[in-house]
Structure 1
Amino acid sequence: MVGSRLSFSLCLVLNLSVTAFSSLEFSRYDFPTDFIFGAGTSAYQVEGAAFQDGRTPSTWDTFAHAGHAHGATGDIACDEYHKYKEDVKLMVETGLDAYRFSISWSRLIPNGRGPVNPKGLEYYNNLINELIKHGIEPHVTLFHVDLPQVLEDEYEGWLSQRIVKDFTEFADVCFREFGDRVLYWSTINEGNIFALGGYDIGITPPQRCSAPFGNCPKGNSPSEPYIAGHHILLAHASVTQLYREKYQDIQQGFIGTNVFAFWFVPLTNKTEDIIATQRAHDFFLGWFVHVLVFGDYPDIVKKRAGTRIPSFSEEESKQVKGSFDFIGINHYTSLHIKNNPMKLNMDHRDFDADVAVDLIAIIDDTAPDEFPVLPWGLQQLLEYFKQVYGNPPIYIHENGQRTKRNTTLNDTEGNGSNAKGYFTWSFLDVLELLDGYGSSFGLYYVDLDDPDLKRYPKLSAHWYSGFLKGENVSSDGAIGIEKNKTPVSSARSIQ
């Protein structure tokens, strides 16, 4: 199995032109001329400067400083706050079309609402300008699991509908200040995983859950994931409406949201496993995407969640339906699904089944921990979006192979979709969500023992750079002779 250098290369086919190959040579010229290739990070995972220039703590800071990120914190991280020019230079050398990053709400608006922090505003203006000066398109995510702690303390953040107004006002500042240069906006990163990780099993900020499904100081696993998820969708729809009514015609940009997407496969061809697999699709992906496309939750989700899942009013349903110009997906691996009647009918949460039971407990326990990248899974996932959700414009926002953090720099191991772009995760070896600095996905190794946090390109960076510069590459990692073709140019249309 090819690792992070080529996990990505195998997935690049995206059901656009090739469905299977072994050592077939290909290059970026085999893709549409408006197809965007980039790499991504997020604010807390890469910026550092956590207590500098007016930034206040986010729920990520609180979570990490409580020791839940394997003792690691983002206090310094990769220090992109101070080293952004150096990193943009590396992006240019790599040949990226675009860079996906997020804005720290607590850096830009330290109190969650109200006055804008001049230093935070200056930083993001500088980063955006540096990217554009070097021909790199900024793709901005507004929220990446880092709510200002002050709002969590005031009204429990995403559990309150008050978040919709505050998030919309934060987005308004971002559109007003940066929208003349930023054309691609994602509202919330992995809304489905954020709701599950933060409110069901408590392994991510704000670490809320209840026994026996997790060990958290507070929370309610039966209901809170649905409540938080509902408010995430309403906040996304509100921000989209704001952008479309106030900014889009002037700025000519695009707005969407982002979900995490496994590809689920029945463990056997038994009817019960096939039904369980569809249930997993509906609970995990349809929970959000079905709402965005059709204006309401899937029937099976409403049936099993019952009164624990909020209902959309007629007005809310109209607002959320179609509230995207594109959908971003983060995909890493595929999982087998086996029906489990005992867990499906358990009543520990005072109902027949819920998100965790329908999604987590019935996933085949033999699924590998390392999440191997399986190209056919991404291909079939894109086909599912095409057949079930009307083939919306898709950006693959995250995809990559997890490897153990090391200094070898050798990061290798053993159909018509409306895909518009591909961003490898991640550009640098960042603070990872689940295990701190214990693993890495980056194209560039960051030496944490070096006071200057020096960056070193891995083999994956060399491979990606060769591919982006038009050299022929193959699935075994070999780089051939550059094709004599005109370089592609990124278009600003996703239709």
Structure 2
Amino acid sequence: MEQILFLIFIFLSFAFSGRCSDVYSRNDFPKGFVFGSAVSAFQWEGAVDEDGRIPSIWDTYVHSSDGPTEDIACDGYHKYKEDVRLMYSMRLDAFLLSISWPRLIPSGRGPVNPKGLRFYKNFIDELIRYGIEPHVTLYHNDLPQALEDEYGGWIDQKIINDFTAFADVCFREFGSKVKSWWTINEPNMLAWGGYDLGCVIYFLFYISDSSAYNNMLLAHASTTRLYKQMYKDKQHGSVGITLFAYWMVPFTSSEEDKIATQRAKAFYLAWFVEHNSSIKKHGRYNYPDVMKRTVGERLPSSSDFLGLIHYTTLYTAHLSSSIHAGHFDSDMNASLLRMLFFHGMCFDVLPWGFEGVLKYIKQNYGNLPVYNLENGQPTNQHSSINDLGRVEYLHAYIAAVLNSVRSGSDIRGYFQWSFMDMFEFINPNYTYGLYYVNFSDPKRERSPKTSALWYSALLKGKTVSLQKLKNRSMSSSPGVSCQ
């Protein structure tokens, strides 16, 4: 009841929508702008050893410690119909899911698992039945362990053909109903974190000639080419790739830190946007030399759009020491990590950073079409479901998207992360969900948080005010703490 009164207080107090970022409704967004939410297969499905699925590298990693596992997770594999009804009640336009490679093709190549195929067909059909557009990520970090054991996964070029064959199955089986495909989830983080530095320190601005990174680019290029040659004319869909995109500002006003910030943007954003997405610039398309040498004229002309994953903004400082994989000065390493809002802490609410990313893409890369695929705030999974901190975060960042739209950025959709609390392998105590999931309950009961009710009201056309939200937060209980 308190949540309902709170929402009435926010929404019904306003009978107008302004042009300032404080007050807006979904009616201020362009026609066709998509609002959605998202999950990943590994974190949501559970049923890790059911119906023919075999382990992925994530299973192996999680089971290497004594902590909680994803074996059941949210039990989405069995509860997907219930979850789609929740999406419908919220009035989501779209939903981003990923396909579990080891569920669809358990050995990584070869026969398709009919039960895995049936599950994804049923899930996609259920979304469409309720008028929810499916967006599909082909690879969200769950490589079949069999391929890792055989040749080391992404570090070997054999992965290119295996991934392309996996994508071919997905295009063929689901493509008549899926029009938005995302090949590889955040390769700029995955290559460095999984193959160069290790997950604990993968947020450093480290650039390497990673074979894993190169193979991800080649796999994306091969998959995009396959879709355009074999499926696009019949299915009329589009293919893109996702980029993990922090915004960066100088740590001090020194000229060195300003130059370091520009250098970080060039390597961390420009390198991936320009090469991964093959942006048209100065009348030509560009790919890294390794891709030109290996694939040549078979490279696709471009990705159709770019997916952005953005959570917060970081300070950037000049470092006089060089960094090499596996060799860090401990003092320097610690100082870098203290700049990161991670490991269960709240992300600072810095929506202007998101505007900075979108403006950077607009000004430098021909206003490439963009979807935000992940944006959200972690909170303590064991705290109250009255998550006012998450509401304030979402309100501010969606307002930043609106400001960017009004400034001319070609951003076409916003996907909140994540639809419900899921298995979080970095820190299981901090989750991103709009819905609380009781992981102690065998039934994995879902309960709406204040953020779910807030997002639903926004999607139903209510007008929202950040100042009223702040006033309410200060005059009542603080809600969920991020600490």
Percentage of identical aligned residues: 50
Match of 1:233, SS state, is helix
Shift of 1:88: 0.2
Gaps of 5+ in 1: 10-16, 214-220, 297-308, 480-495
CA deviation profile, 1:309-344 (whole Å, cap 9, x unmatched): 983335636655643101001000001111111x2x
In structure 2, the residue matched to 1:32 is 30
Structure 1 residue aligned with 2:363 = 387
Q: 1:227 to 1:42 in 2, by over 3 A?
A: same
Q: Is the 8 A contact 2:382 2:429 kept in 1?
A: no
Instruction: Tell me if 1:230 matches 2:214.
Output: yes
Counterpart of 2:314 (choices 324, 329, 335) is 335
Instruction: Confirm or deny that 1:424 pairs with 2:416.
Output: yes
8 Å CA contact 2:197–2:326 kept in 1: the answer is: no
Shifted more, 447-456 versus 169-178: the winner is: 447-456
Distance 2:323 2:237 in 1: 47
Which piece of structure 1 moves more, 82-91 or 386-395? Answer: 386-395
- Secondary structure, in 3 states, of the residue corresponding to 1:194? helix
Q: Which has the higher contact order (CA 8 A, sep 6+)?
A: 1
Q: Deviations over 1:263-285 (max 9, x none)?
A: 01112332211211121112222
Shift in alpha-carbon separation, 1:363–1:419, aligned structure 2, 3 A: farther
Alignment map for 1:173-184 (pairs within 5 Å): 173-184=169-180
* Structure-2 residue corresponding to 1:466: 457
1:396 equivalent to 2:388? Answer no
Separation (CA, whole Å) in 1 of partners of 2:116 and 2:138: 14
- After TM superposition, the structure 1 = structure 2 runs for residues 116-195 of structure 1, keeping only pairs within 5 Å, are 116-195=112-191
Checking the alignment, whether the CA contact within 8 Å between 2:252 and 2:317 is kept in structure 1 is yes
Of residues 228, 247, 253, the one that matches 1:263 is 247
Is the partner of 2:458 in helix, strand or coil?
helix
TM-score normalized by the length of structure 2: 0.82
CA-CA distance at 1:367 after TM superposition: 4.3
Counterpart CA distance in 2 for 1:478 and 1:182 is: 37
Distance 2:384 2:465 in 1: 22
Once the two structures are superposed, residues 375-396 of structure 1 have per-residue CA deviations (whole angstroms, 9 ceiling, x without a partner) of 1000111000111122100000
Aligned pairs (5 A) from 1:51-450: 51-67=49-65, 71-203=67-199, 226-293=210-277, 311-314=290-293, 316=295, 320=299, 322-341=301-320, 343=321, 345=322, 363=336, 365-369=338-342, 370=345, 371-413=347-389, 415-435=407-427, 437-450=428-441
Give the Cα separation in 2 of the matches to 1:366 and 1:349.
20
* Distance change >3 Å, CA 478–CA 471, structure 1 → 2: farther
Change beyond 3 A, Cα 1:364–1:386: farther
Q: Is the 8 A contact 1:226 1:310 kept in 2?
A: no
Q: Distance between the aligned counterparts of 1:120 and 1:348, measured in 2? A: 38
| C-alpha distance 310-66 of structure 1, shift in aligned 2 (>3 A) | farther
Distance 1:175 1:367, change over 3 A: closer
C-alpha distance in 1 between matches for 2:466 and 2:376? 15
Number of residues paired by the alignment?
A: 427
Looking at secondary structure, tell me which structure has more helix per residue.
2
Quick one: which amino acid aligns to residue 27 of structure 1?
S
Contact 2:240 2:277 (C-alpha < 8 Å) held by counterparts:
no
Partners of 1:202 and 1:477 in 2: how far apart?
43
* TM-aligned CA deviation for residue 478 of structure 1: 5.2
Secondary structure, counterpart of 1:230 in structure 2 = helix
Q: Distance in 2 between matches of 1:346 and 1:169?
A: 37
In structure 2, give the amino acid aligned to 1:99: F
Q: Quick check: 2:46–2:74 contact (8 Å CA) kept in 1? A: yes
**Superposed displacement of residue 189, structure 1:** 0.5
| TM-aligned CA distance change 1:192 to 1:361, over 3 Å | farther
Q: Give the 3-state SS of the residue equivalent to 1:249 in structure 2.
A: helix
Cα pair 2:250 2:258 within 8 Å, conserved: yes
Alpha-carbon distance, 1:199 to partner: 1.2
Instruction: Identify which range, 54-63 or 269-278, moves more after superposition.
Output: 269-278
Equivalent position of 2:40 in the other structure: 42
C-alpha distance in structure 1 between counterparts of 2:298 and 2:261, whole Å:
30
Superposition CA RMSD, Å: 3.0
Shift of residue 372, structure 1, vs aligned partner: 1.8
How far apart are the structure 1 equivalents of 2:129 and 2:340?
44
Is this contact kept in 2: 1:291–1:320, CA < 8 A?
no
Name the CA distance, whole Å, in 1 between partners of 2:189 and 2:308.
12
5+ residue gaps, structure 2, are 1-5, 11-17, 281-287, 393-406, 471-483
Asked whether the 8 Å contact 2:102–2:144 carries over to 1, the reply is yes
Distance across 2 between alignment mates of 1:465 and 1:263? 28
